Amino acid sequence: MNRKARATLQDVAQLAGVSTATVSRALSRPDLVQEETLARVSDAIARLNYVPGGAARALASGKTLTIGAVVPTLDHAIFARAIQAMQTELAGNGYQLLVAAHDYAPAQEAAAVRAMLARGVDALMVVGADHLEETWALLTTASVPVVLSWSFDARLPAIGFDNEKAGRLIADHLLDLGHRRFGMISGFTHANDRARSRVAGVRAALAARGIELPSSCVVEAPFTLAGGRAGLAELMARATPPTAVVCGNDLLAAGALFEAQASGIAVPGALSVVGIDNLEIAAHLAPPLTTVHLPTTELGRTVARHLLARLRGEAQPQRVELPIELVIRRSATAPATSPALAREPS
């Protein structure tokens, strides 16, 4: 309850009868100070309830022991999980995590990056490759290590996924199952290269089999269950509804599944639904969701390690692509109505 000003290094030094330099060393390089002195210092520290002041420390040493992360939102399992993993890894190495979310608003992102750089972080991670010119300038001229995550860009080291491949993987699976009429529910693609890549991947896979995915068949919805439901409803209201819909992520897919269930559309009987991300819920939905697994926890951990390594002066690869993988469950099967036999005409 004592509210007096914090004790300073000076106070400790005085109480212990040594110089401030010694106290400082006792704190950061205990191997350099004699055992007995160390004991006296520790005692003084304990007695004064001394806690070193980060600001002074940062100013004098040039390191803040803080790493920044700028993400679109924490209110999405995918980012929350990666940040959680990152934080755990950092804390284990004596670093702290400063987070900012910008809600997919590029200007807010720029502000966040600027604020972090100003505030002082020893390293920084940002999500994706869609940034304002201003943000890019800040990022590429920053005097601290910066890393991109989730996707790639030649301008900066990056640790991410091949989002386009995720789209291709899942589309190919549907194609192999015999589907020919597709719909897609994507998250908003504005300021979101991941979402755009996934759509592009799906398009590319279909195009490779001679199928076009007109933009009228891809609806953009907010990244929520409700968004997924609305998206599916819209798609199924079309004159010729799709037999398969790929969702930009599992949240949207879960929403689509709920909507199908609510409106009596049998999945996978009458409609196949697939997602991307492989959230925990995907495995538990009815039917369990076929999706593409993205190792987001590992992403967070890898980002943290990469940054930590660079801070130690170790060179790091410019690009690390984390493996993704199709996970087949039961929400997608061959289309009921269309001639599966038409597949692979020989």
Partner DNA sequence: GCGGCTTATGCAAGCGCTTACATGAAAGCT
Partner DNA sequence: AGCTTTCATGTAAGCGCTTGCATAAGCCGC
Which x/- pattern over 30-69 shows residues binding its own copies (rule: CB under 8 A)? -------------------x-xxxxxx-xx----xxx---
Which one of 31-39, 164-172, 212-220, 255-263 is the stretch in contact with its own copies (CB under 8 A)?
A: 255-263
Give the dihedral of Cα atoms 145, 146, 151, 153; nearest 10 deg: -90
**Helices 9-16 and 20-28, interaxial angle, to 10°?**
100
What is the radius of gyration, based on Cα positions, of the chain? 26
Which does residue 84 bind out of DNA, its own copies, none, counting CB within 5 to 8 angstroms by kind?
its own copies
The alpha carbon torsion through 287, 292, 296, 301 (nearest 10 deg) reads: 130
What dihedral angle (degrees, nearest 10) is formed by the CA atoms of 139, 143, 144, 147?
Answer: 30
**Separation CA 79–CA 70 (nearest Å):** 10
What mask of x and - would describe binding to its own copies in positions 136 to 155, judged by CB under 8 A? Answer: ----xx-x------------
In the shown chain, the binding pattern of residues 73 to 92 toward its own copies, with x for contact by CB under 8 A and - for none, equals xxx-x--xx-xx--xx--x-
For 127, the 3-state DSSP assignment is strand
Indicate which single residue of 5, 154, 237, 341 sits in contact with its own copies (rule: CB under 8 A): 5
303, 81 Cβ separation under 8 angstroms: no
Q: Are 245 and 273 in contact (CB under 8 A)?
A: yes
Find the shortest distance in angstroms from Cβ 32 to DNA.
5
Stretch that binds DNA, among 30-38, 71-79, 259-267, 299-307 (CB under 7 A): 30-38
- Which residue, 156 or 276, is less far from its own copies as judged by CB? 156
**Nearer to its own copies (CB atom), residue 201 or residue 255:** 255
- In angstroms, rounded to a whole number, what is the distance separating the alpha carbons of residues 263 and 236? 10
Interaction partner, residue 263 (DNA, its own copies, none; CB < 5-8 Å by kind): none
Among residues 46, 56, 107, 137, the one that binds DNA under rule CB under 7 A: 56
Q: Which of 305, 339, 345 is nearest to 322 (CA)?
A: 305
Residue spans of alpha helices (H) in the chain? 9-16, 20-28, 35-48, 54-61, 77-91, 106-119, 133-141, 163-177, 193-208, 225-236, 250-262, 280-284, 296-311
Our finding on whether 9 is near DNA (CB under 7 A) is: yes
Check: CB of residue 228 under 8 Å from CB of residue 250.
no
Asked if 235 and 183 touch (Cβ cutoff 8 Å), the reply is yes
Q: Which of 3, 4, 5, 212 binds DNA (CB under 7 A)?
A: 5
Identify which range of 158-166, 167-175, 208-216, 219-227 contacts its own copies by CB under 8 A.
219-227
Residues binding its own copies (CB under 8 A): 1-3, 5-6, 49, 51-56, 58-59, 64-66, 73-75, 77, 80-81, 83-84, 87-88, 91, 96-101, 103, 108, 111-112, 114-120, 140-141, 143, 224-226, 229, 254-255, 258, 261-262, 280-281, 284-286
Residues binding DNA (CB under 7 A): 5-6, 8-10, 17-22, 24-25, 27-28, 32-34, 36-38, 50, 52-53, 55-57, 59-61
